[in-house]
Amino acid sequence: MGYLFTSESVSEGHPDKVADQISDAILDELLRQDPESKVACETLVTTGLVVLSGEVKTQGFVPTQNVARRVIERIGYTDAAYMFDSGSCGVISAIHEQSPDINRGVERESEDEQGAGDQGMMFGYACKDTEDYLPLPLYLSHILLKELAAIRREEKEMTYLRPDSKSQVTIEYDSNNKPLKVHTIVVSTQHDEFDEDEAMLSKIKEDVQNILITRVKAILPEDQQHLFNDYILHVNPTGKFVIGGPHGDTGLTGRKIIVDTYGGKGAHGGGAFSGKDSSKVDRSAAYATRHIAKNLVAAGVADEILVQVAYAIGVAKPVGLYINTYRTAKVNLTDGQIAEKVEGIFDMRPSAIVKRFGLKNPIFEPTAAYGHVGRTPYKDEVEFIENGQKLMKEVEFFTWEKLDYVNKVKEVFSL
C-alpha cells in the first residue's frame, strides 16, 4: 500500500529566514577577518527592528548594523510600505564575549584534539528520490520558492510579489517508496494591495499555475515532469497576504531546522545551524553526516541511508556512530557492520571535519535560505582581510555535497 509524504519550504523573505541570513552574514564577516573566530550569533526581526545577540571570540570587528541592512536589502525589503525595510529599520546589538568555560574544551594545543563545541547528536540523510539525493517533497518545495524569488526579481511577471512566501508539496509514493505523483501543492505568497480581494486571489492562483509551476516543470528532469499530471493546488488559502515578513511575524534564528535539512525525512538532532561557527558540531557534524549518507547512497551501499553521530562537549572522538539503511542495503552486511566500515573511511573528529570541508572560510550566508543540503558545490572568489589588507581568494561552497568519497566507499565495500 502506498502513502503520502509532505514537506515544506520558506523563502528568503520569511522572517525566520531573514534572521538566519543575518546571523550567517555576521559569521562570514568575522571569518573573513579571523578564521579562528568562535561565533554563536542569534537574530530577532520584527516590525521595524533587528536585535542581534550571542557570544563571540574573535580578533575581527564587524559593523553589525551595516551587515544587517545589506542582507535585508538583498532579500528585497526596500519599501517602507512593508513596515520593515533596510533603510529605516532599527538595529540593536547585544553580542558579547564567549564564555571561557566553553572555549577551554574546544581549543587545544594540538588542533587534531579539538573538542566538540557541545554535546548532542546530529543526523545526515540521503535517498534516491532526486539527482541531489534529497527527498522529492522538499526538493520541489525549495524549487518552487527559488523560482518565485527569481520571478519577483525579474519584475516582468507577477509584479505584485513581495519577499515573504511559503510552499508545501505532498508526494504520493508506492509501497516500494517510489514517487508516483504530485498529490498537493500549497503556495502562499505575500503580495501588494489589490482593489478587489476575490480578483486578487483568482489572479495569483492563475499566475502560480501558469507561470510559476510551468517554469518549475521546465527545469525538472523528464522523469519528474510527468508527476505533475493531476494535482490539487492551494494558493494563499487564507485569502489576502499583504502583511508579511517581520511585520507579520517575528523571526528568530534557528526556527526552520526541518526546512534546512530533509523536510521531515530521516531524523534531526535538534540543533540549528545558522550563526554558528564550525566548532559547533550542531552544524559541522550535521554537514559531515550528510556527506557520509550521500556518498554511501551514490556508491550503491543502499538506496536510503540515515547517519547519526554523537559527541560529548570538549571531547574530539564521537561517542557513537549509527547507520540505518531502512532495509535497502545492497551489501550483505548488517547496519552495525556498515557503521564499523564507515568509521574507518570518514574521520569524524571536529578538526578533521573542519579541514575536510574548509569550514573556516566565509561560506555560510548562501546556506541560510533554501536548505543547507541538496545544493550544488561551486567555487567563487571571496574577499578576506589579512593584516588590514583586502585580498581575494577562491573558496569552495557546499563542499559537504561533493561525491568525492564514492570510489573509496566502493573499494571498502567491494562494490
Residue 100 has pLDDT above 60, yes or no: no
Residue 16 marked as a ligand binder: yes
Residue type, position 288, single letter: A
Residues 6+ apart with CB under 8 A from 68: 22, 25, 26, 43, 50, 52, 91
* SS3 of residue 301 by DSSP: coil
* SS3 of residue 358 by DSSP: coil
Residue 115 has pLDDT above 90, yes or no: no
Residue 286 has pLDDT above 80, yes or no: yes
pLDDT tens column, 4-50: 999 999 999 999 999 999 999 999 999 999 999 999 999 999 999 99
To the nearest whole number, what is the mean pLDDT of the chain? 94
pLDDT of residue 197: 82
pLDDT of residue 107: 58
Domains and CATH numbers, the chain: 3-8+135-244 (3.30.300.10), 16-108 (3.30.300.10), 120-127+258-412 (3.30.300.10)
CA proximity to 155, closest of 76, 271, 49: 76
- 272 φ/ψ angles, rounded to the nearest 5 degrees: -80, 170
DSSP 210: I
Residue 272 marked as a ligand binder: yes
pLDDT of residue 111: 66
pLDDT of residue 97: 82
pLDDT of residue 238: 87
Q: How confident is the model at residue 158 (pLDDT cuts 50, 70, 90)?
A: very high
Residue 225 marked as a ligand binder: no
pLDDT of residue 125: 98
Residues 6+ apart with CB under 8 A from 4: 170, 171, 172, 173, 183
Provide the grid cell at 387. 593584516
Q: How confident is the model at residue 102 (pLDDT cuts 50, 70, 90)?
A: low
Residue 88 marked as a ligand binder: no
Residue 249 marked as a ligand binder: yes
Please, what is the Cα angle at 319 between 374 and 253, to 5 degrees? 45
pLDDT of residue 104: 54
Residues 6+ apart with CB under 8 A from 386: none
pLDDT of residue 189: 97
Q: Is the pTM of this model over 0.85?
A: yes
Residue 303 marked as a ligand binder: no
Mean pLDDT of 150-161: 97
Residue 364 marked as a ligand binder: no
Residue 14 marked as a ligand binder: yes
Report the distance separating Cα 405 and Cα 356, nearest Å.
11
Residues 6+ apart with CB under 8 A from 201: 235, 236, 239, 240
Mean pLDDT of 296-319: 96
CA proximity to 166, closest of 366, 373, 8: 8
Residue 79 marked as a ligand binder: no
Residue 98 marked as a ligand binder: yes
pLDDT of residue 112: 64
CA proximity to 9, closest of 319, 311, 310, 216: 216
Answer yes or no: are the C-beta atoms of 119 and 313 closer than 8 Å: yes
Report the distance separating Cα 90 and Cα 84, nearest Å.
9
pLDDT of residue 99: 59
Q: How confident is the model at residue 108 (pLDDT cuts 50, 70, 90)?
A: low
CA proximity to 98, closest of 86, 88, 90, 106: 106
Residue 277 marked as a ligand binder: no
CA proximity to 287, closest of 205, 185, 373: 373
pLDDT of residue 163: 97
Residue type, position 30, single letter: L
Residue 241 marked as a ligand binder: yes
Q: How confident is the model at residue 234 (pLDDT cuts 50, 70, 90)?
A: very high
Residue 42 marked as a ligand binder: yes
Residue type, position 328, single letter: T
Burial of 371 (0-12, 13-18, 19+ CB in 10 A): buried
Report the distance separating Cα 184 and Cα 172, nearest Å.
9
pLDDT of residue 118: 80
Residue 347 marked as a ligand binder: no
DSSP 85: -
The mean-pLDDT minimum among 64-78, 186-200, 300-314, 357-371 falls in: 186-200
pLDDT of residue 259: 98
Residues 6+ apart with CB under 8 A from 102: 55, 117, 118, 313
| Burial call 296-333: b when 16+ CB within 10 Å, e when fewer | bbbbebbbbbbbbbbbeebebebeebbbbbeebbebeb
Residue 110 marked as a ligand binder: no
Mean pLDDT of 343-359: 97
Percentage above 70 pLDDT, the chain: 96
Percentage above 90 pLDDT, the chain: 87
| Burial call 198-211: b when 16+ CB within 10 Å, e when fewer | eebbebbbebbeeb
Residue 190 marked as a ligand binder: no
pLDDT of residue 198: 85
Q: How far is C-alpha 392 from the geometric centre of its chain's CA atoms?
A: 26
* SS3 of residue 317 by DSSP: coil
